[in-house]
Amino acid sequence: MSSVSFKTREDVLEAIGTRFIKAEITQPSPFLLELVVRGFEQKLMELYQQFQQGECSLGYLAEQLGISSWEAVHLLEERGLRVTNL
């Protein structure tokens, strides 16, 4: 299984920052941050595999990650992943 990694932890926080704000977590512990990073990476890869197999749309992928479609395109392009499933 391949994995996706973020350039920095700030990338993850930026992608899911509103979820921390809603939970009123201003200074997540390193352990919590690591769980979030790994969870986000795992979910991204699961959704990306579904997207590449034509089982879901880019919009659905983005919605499930809590980001916009444009952010999803940027996230995938940044990692050298295809943004089309044709």
Which residue is it, tokens 């979030």? 36
Say if residues 73 and 58 touch (Cβ distance below 8 Å).
yes
Amino acid 53: pLDDT: 94
Asked whether residue 51 carries a pLDDT value surpassing 80, the answer given is: yes
Place of tokens 């990694």: 5
- Contact partners, residue 58, CB within 8 Å, separation at least 6: 51, 69, 72, 73, 83, 85
Provide the residue ranges of all domains of the chain, joining segments of one domain with +.
Answer: 9-78
Predicted TM-score (pTM) of this structure = 0.66
Q: What integer pLDDT is reported at residue 20 of this predicted model? A: 53
How far is 26 from 33, CA to CA, in rounded Å? 12
